[in-house]
Amino acid sequence: MARRINLSRFVPYFFLIIPLLIYLIWVIGPTIYTFYLSLTDWDGLSQPHFIGFQNYEKLFRDPVFYISLKNNIKWLISFITIPVVAGLALAMALSRSIPGERFFKAGFYSPMVLSLVVSGLIWSWMYHPANGLINSVLRSVGLDFLAKGWLSDKNLVIWAIIVVAIWRQVGYVMVLYLAGLAGINPALIDASKIDGCNAWNTFRHVILPLLTPVTVIVVVISIIDSLRAFDLVSVMTRGGPYNSSSVLANFMYIEAFNNYKMGYGAAISVVLFLISLVFILFYLTRVLQDELEY
């Protein structure tokens, strides 16, 4: 008698086929093709011409690459310090029942609702040297010497853009920490108070260690966001003046789509991908370790 095949156990795999095919076609395929294009001299129109590692040799001699990398590092350091500390402080303050609690939460998170393009346009108007809000306020209070061309000064421009990014990021970090604080057992905090801990010691020895998983997620997400920074730079300065605000993603876009050096742009994207991959693997390793512990 023929043995019956139980097809029901294959049903989950049938549901996975289409998403997996889409992911292979739209994500994995282009990624592999980008690695190949980084080894070619291609203008986006003619046939790619294989040139080996010449794009990478050129890239590591390009001063704009090092300016862009340096700006990404500035962005990274700023993102894993100021938003993390400010977001945690806001979360601690708003985790208690205070008047207007929901209003403040919505207010601090509202910048995340705006797209990066809209945020960049709004702050570009605020940074305007003649009629911008920032310089107008400084002049109105007699601090004319502090009024500057925020987006035209090569020493200030990248920091001016980072301020906008931090303004958006703080609310996002606050929400993540609020979720982490909601998961802490209040009995642990009460026990620390019974043992004689003051507010600072309770935060340092009880709350902060319990928030470690959230902190890891926040830091890794902040690092990845800082490495793929593009929109604000593109909208506000396009990397100027004189490439002083260029970041790797913006540098890649200009070389590929403005200068028609698709192969060179692909090489920049590969380097950016490899840098990001280090932090992504660290994050995945940490998550897997936490899963195994449970």
Mind listing the pLDDT tens digit for each residue in 73-96? 999 999 989 999 999 999 999 888
Nearby residues of 76 by Cβ (< 8 Å), 6 or more positions away: 222, 223, 226, 227
CB 226 within 8 A of CB 71: no
CB 243 within 8 A of CB 194: no
- Rounded to two decimals, the pTM is 0.87
Ordered per-residue pLDDT tens for the chain, 294 residues: 456 666 677 777 888 888 899 999 998 999 999 999 999 999 888 889 999 999 999 999 999 999 999 999 999 999 989 999 999 999 999 888 778 888 888 899 999 988 999 999 999 999 999 889 999 999 999 888 888 999 999 999 999 999 999 999 999 999 999 999 888 888 888 888 887 778 888 888 888 888 988 888 888 888 888 888 999 999 999 998 999 999 999 999 999 999 999 999 999 999 999 998 888 787 778 767 766 665
Mind listing the pLDDT tens digit for each residue in 11-43? 778 888 888 999 999 989 999 999 999 999 998
Among 1.10.3720.10, 3.90.1010.20, 3.40.50.300, 3.90.1150.10, name the CATH number for the domain at 63-117+154-293: 1.10.3720.10
Q: Whose CA is closest to 282, among 224, 211, 236, 207?
A: 224
Q: From residue 133, how far is each of 130, 138, 264 by CA, in Å?
A: 9, 9, 40
Report the 10 Å Cβ neighbour count for 69: 17
At 51 the three-state DSSP class reads coil
